[in-house]
Structure formats: C-alpha cells, structure tokens
Amino acid sequence: MFGFGQRCSDSDNRFCAFLTIRRKTAPLRLSDEELYYTFVFAIIHLYSLKVVVMIKIFTAEKVKDLDRYTIENKPIASIDLVERASTLFVQEFTRRFSKQCRIVVFAGFGNNGADALAVARLLKDESYKVITYLFNTKQHLSPDCLENKRRLIEAGATGFNEVISNFTLPELTGNDIVIDGLFGSGLNKPIEGGFAKLISHINESDACVVSIDIPSGLFGEDNRKNNTEAIIRASLTLTFSFPKLAFLLPENEEFTGKWKVLDIGIHPDIITKTKTPYNLISEDDICKTILPRRKFGHKGLYGHALLIAGSRGKMGAALLASRACLRSGAGLLTTHIPPCGELILQTASPETMLSLDPHPGYYTTLPDVSPYSAIGIGPGLGQQPQTAAGLGDLLRKARTHLVIDADALNIIASDKNLMELIPKRSILTPHPKEFDRLAGESDSGYERLMKAQSLAREQKLIFILKGAYTAICTPGGNIYFNSTGNPGMATAGSGDVLTGIILGLLAQGYEPEAASVVSVFLHGAAGDHAAATHSEESMIAGDIINSLGIAFKQVK
C-alpha cells in the first residue's frame, strides 16, 4: 500500500521496473549523471509514497467496539473509563468557565448520563454550584449510570433531582451553564415527546450549553432524516477520543458549536486494526510527507508546470494561481493566457514564463503539452465554446497529472461526456455549488460527501470538496478532512491559490493523493497565519500566497 491508502499505480510499477532493469543489465555502467538523476528520482518518488497515519474518524457503531476492546484489553473497568473521560471534561470545563455561574446538568439514563453524573460530582468537588437532573423515565439505568448516581448522592449533592414521571421545566438564564448529557452518539432515531420539549426549552433559553461527547439528538454521521428541532444547539462540545463525522459537515455547525477532542486513552492496537475511510489530517502527517530539497538541486529537478488560465477581465485568477504555484516550489512555470493578459503577468509575476493563445481574449488552442510535468486548468478561464473545445483537447492529449478547477469544472458539468475523458487520478477542486453541477443537487453536506466518495471511486479521480473542513476523496474510497483554515479564506481568489499550490507540488513529483492532502493543509495553514496578521475580515487571497513560506516552515 502506498501514499494515502492507494495501491501502487502504473507509474509506480514502471518506476520499480526501471530500477530493476538497471540493476540487472548495467549495474556498473551508469554514468555519473545517470546515477545522480536515478538516485534523486528514487528519493523524490519514495518520499511522495510514504504511508501516513492520520487521526482516524470512526462511526458511532465502531466506537462502541473500540471502547469494549479497551475495557477488555487495557484492562480498565467501564466505570473507570467513565471516570477518566469525566475528569478530562471537568479539567477542560474549569479552564473555560467561572465558578460564579450556576451549572445545570441534564443526565440521561444511559452511559452519556453516567458521564454527566460523574461530571456533576467532580464539579461539586471543585466548588461549583451544581443542580443535576437525572431522567430515569424508564426506571432502568445503565450500570455505570446507576453507579455514578450512587457516588453523586454519597458525595452529598444537594441539588440532585431524579425525574421519573412528572417534570417542571426549570428556568434557565444567561448566567447559567447547561451541561448536556442526555443522549450519546449511539442514538439512531429522532428524539420525541418530553425529551424533545426539554431540548427545545434549553435551546430557547439564554444559557450557554456544553455538550458531553455529542449534542443530544445529533446522529454521529447521517442526519438527513433527523428532526433538527429536537437537537441540542451547543456552544461547545467536548468529545471523547475522536471527532464525529457529523462535526465536519456544514449543516451541523449550529448544533456542535466549537468542539474539542479529549483523549481518554483508547487502546492503540484496536485503533490501528480498525479500518475506516475517514481521517483528519494533522501537522505531523504533513511534516512526514514534505519532499526534501537537495543541496545540488536545480530548477529542472523540481518540475515544469503548465497553467492554462485567465480571460479578459479575469486575469487576476491566472496571476494568483501562477504566484501560488511558484511559491510552492515548482522549478519552472509556463502560464498559457490570452494576449490581453501579457502585460499583467509579465509585470506582476516576472518569474512566470508565458505561452500566448491565438485568441486575444480567452483560451482556445492547446499548446504543446509534452514538456510539462503537471498541468492545471480553470482559474478565470471563462466558458466560451472555443474554450470548451480547448479543454476537451487537453483531456484527450494530456499524459501527465492534471488539476482541474473553476470554469474548467463548469464546462465539464455542462458536457458530462468530458468527464469520461479526464485522465485517471486527476485532481478536481470544486466548491459545493460546482460539485452539485457535476453530480446533481445535494440536500446536505453528508449527501454531497457520499456522492464525491462514490464518484471518486467510480471515475478513479480525486475530488477536493472545498469548505471549512475541506474533504479530499480518493479513488480508493478514503476521505481526508483538513484541520487548518478559517472563515477569512472565504474570499475571492482563495480557490485559485489552492489550484496553484497543488500544481506546484504535482510538478515536483508528489503523487496526486499526497499533493492534494499537503496542498490543502498548507493552504489552510497559510490562511491561518494571514488571518492572524490581517484579521479574518481583512485578509485577501494574496495574503495567503505571502504566508506560504511560513506554512512550509511550520510543517518542516
């Protein structure tokens, strides 16, 4: 297995065969120059194929299995795992909230309720004023919940209330902090009846809400059939061990608020053994994947990229993508543009070489693509019929990795036959609306993600779904979520910058999966630095480019 869960590609096999043939036929007859370039290519190629272990994201069903394995093999008693999780929750809570606030804990009858009761006891020990409501409406508590009820009572909790049937909704004010421990991630049907009324009451109050593990009522993955009126709207969610897939989808932001993962010590063996297609990218992953720069390297060693971009009135997109490509380490860049942009590019990006289209205002004619190690197309391209024909020509003739963005995606969406021409393992970078044009409308982020995963697998392409947690969907069915970036990056030209970064890495020899993951992370990290410097409101796409060097230093 190579790269990000992908099997050795045809190009990988050709590379391995090349080395094998060289060893057998002429192990001692290579010239110094041949030896040098063979060695350098080997280093670059193998670095780009590194196996990277990311933060796994498991379904709610699998998390139960992980908990069970941990209890059986650490070994640790279930009640002690609850205590560990609750202790970490309280440590995080006490760093954030004053003892001047009243704490109102709502505990359910299952293991999420067990966590909530333990939290109530530990907060009491920290001298917080705590009122606790345990909902024992079935008159049957889980063993851990029953034990934590006993411990809370023995600790002398004065504000403990067990609700069996009748319940008067308590008044909640802006000075209260609600701790939500009603239902956990195992919930699989919408909440109804009295619990739905309680959740509505909490949501309508001015109290700050902190959820334990997951907001009550929210499913861990697919919420398309859920009742959104019966889901807690938390200001903060402190979740255990792993993020929930639902946390990474835009439709659930109003429920999760800000969230943080607390590591409760799930057994590492079962984490390694348990497969999941979902992963969260970390800085450590990127650090291990960045290719080294050689002391005696030169521009020819780091690739020659071709960017086809720009049209009259949209040359800024071509400029941004060009500058980002060069700032990402490409040795050489040629940008193919209409002549109307020549002065702009030559002045604003003198490091960029130009190829001029015969048409004065937009792209129509494909240049010779044989010299290039990677090709990008789309930023500011326009959607003229001749431009569409030129895109089709590229898709038929390209023999190297492609990154396809913006208007190139919109052209493909208007002529689905072009999708079949896209070379395998090309990288497509749509924002949600662009993807919907390609694959049809989606009612939710979850549905869109599943479509992208399916289309990537069927077409053997890489889809980068841009968003707050940009998702990279690979031909192997894996999905990698980005952990960097901020709302300030929702600005004109930000996507053009990402296209340039991807193109720059592809040109240097990164495998497409690795190029996608590294580019998205660096793009977000540069955006985070730009926001820290300029503010989220004031930053522009050019600030992301100017911060790329800092992002590279950060991960190296």
Residues 61-93 pLDDT 10s:
999 999 999 999 998 999 999 999 999 999 999
Q: Do 257 and 318 share a domain, yes or no? A: no
**DSSP, residue by residue, 104-129:** EEEE-SSHHHHHHHHHHHHHHHTT-E
Q: Is 165 part of any domain? A: yes
Which residue is listed with tokens 């937009």? 362
Q: Is 329 part of any domain? A: yes
Q: What would the pLDDT profile of 286-314 be if each residue is shown by its tens digit?
A: 998 999 999 999 999 999 999 999 999 99
Q: Do 238 and 317 share a domain, yes or no? A: no
Q: Is the pLDDT of residue 34 over 80?
A: no
Model pLDDT, residue 317: 98
Strand order across the 236-240 sheet: 160-163, 129-135, 102-107, 176-181, 208-212, 236-240, 258-262
Strand-pairing partners, residue 177, are 103, 208
Structural domain count, the chain = 3
Q: Is the pLDDT of residue 344 over 80?
A: yes
Q: Is 444 part of any domain? A: yes
Query: Is 276 in contact with 58 (CB distance < 8 Å)?
Result: yes
Q: At what angle do helices 143-154 and 111-125 cross, to 10 degrees?
A: 20
**DSSP, residue by residue, 216-228:** TT--SS--TTS-G
For residues 372-377, give the mean pLDDT.
Answer: 98
Q: What would the pLDDT profile of 389-427 be if each residue is shown by its tens digit?
A: 999 999 999 999 999 999 999 999 999 999 999 999 999
pLDDT band at 533 (very low <50, low <70, confident <90, very high): very high
Model pLDDT, residue 506: 98
Residue 244, helix vs strand vs coil: coil
Q: Do 164 and 19 share a domain, yes or no? A: no
Q: Is 1 part of any domain? A: no
Q: Is 3 part of any domain? A: no
Model pLDDT, residue 291: 92
Q: Is the pTM of this model over 0.95?
A: no
CA angle 119, 124, 130 (to 5 degrees): 85
Count of all residues that appear for the chain in the document: 556
Separation CA 232–CA 114 (nearest Å) = 18
DSSP 341: G
Nearest one of 472, 401, 515, 510 to 46, comparing CA atoms? 510
Q: What would the pLDDT profile of 243-278 be if each residue is shown by its tens digit?
A: 999 999 999 999 999 999 999 999 999 999 999 999
Query: Is 406 in contact with 499 (CB distance < 8 Å)?
Result: yes
Q: Do 204 and 314 share a domain, yes or no? A: no
Q: Do 495 and 523 share a domain, yes or no? A: yes
Q: For 382, left (φ over 0), alpha (ψ -120 to 50), or beta?
A: left
Instruction: CATH number of the domain at 143, please.
Output: 3.40.50.10260
Q: Give me the chain's average pLDDT, please.
A: 91
Q: Is the pLDDT of residue 30 over 70?
A: no
**DSSP, residue by residue, 351-409:** T-EEEE-SSSSS-------TT-SEEEE-TT----HHHHHHHHHHHHH--SEEEE-HHHH
For residues 126-149, give the mean pLDDT.
Answer: 97
Query: Is 465 in contact with 435 (CB distance < 8 Å)?
Result: yes
Q: Do 376 and 227 share a domain, yes or no? A: no
Lowest mean pLDDT among 8-12, 254-258, 512-516: 8-12
Model pLDDT, residue 504: 98
Model pLDDT, residue 141: 97
Q: Do 325 and 268 share a domain, yes or no? A: no
Lowest mean pLDDT among 3-7, 121-125, 194-198: 3-7
Q: Is 296 part of any domain? A: no
Strand order across the 353-356 sheet: 55-57, 278-280, 479-481, 471-473, 462-465, 427-428, 401-404, 374-377, 304-308, 332-337, 353-356
Q: Is the pLDDT of residue 21 over 80?
A: no
Q: Is 160 part of any domain? A: yes
Which residue is listed with tokens 């071509």? 318
> How many angstroms separate the Cα of 527 from the Cα of each of 184, 366, 551?
34, 33, 9
Model pLDDT, residue 556: 87
Lowest mean pLDDT among 157-166, 456-465, 505-514: 157-166
Separation CA 68–CA 81 (nearest Å) = 10
pLDDT band at 53 (very low <50, low <70, confident <90, very high): low
Residue 38, domain extent? 10-48
Query: Is 545 in contact with 323 (CB distance < 8 Å)?
Result: yes
Between 19 and 471, residue with greater pLDDT: 471
Query: Is 362 in contact with 308 (CB distance < 8 Å)?
Result: no
Q: Is 53 part of any domain? A: no
Q: Do 310 and 163 share a domain, yes or no? A: no
Query: Is 345 in contact with 337 (CB distance < 8 Å)?
Result: yes
Q: Do 34 and 101 share a domain, yes or no? A: no
pLDDT band at 162 (very low <50, low <70, confident <90, very high): very high
Q: Do 493 and 451 share a domain, yes or no? A: yes
Instruction: Provide the CB-side half-sphere exposure for 469 (13 A, CA).
Output: 23
Q: Do 271 and 310 share a domain, yes or no? A: no
Q: Do 223 and 262 share a domain, yes or no? A: yes
% the chain with pLDDT above 70? 90
For residues 219-239, give the mean pLDDT.
Answer: 97
DSSP 476: T
pLDDT band at 9 (very low <50, low <70, confident <90, very high): very low
> How many angstroms separate the Cα of 551 from the Cα of each of 140, 327, 524, 532?
53, 11, 9, 13
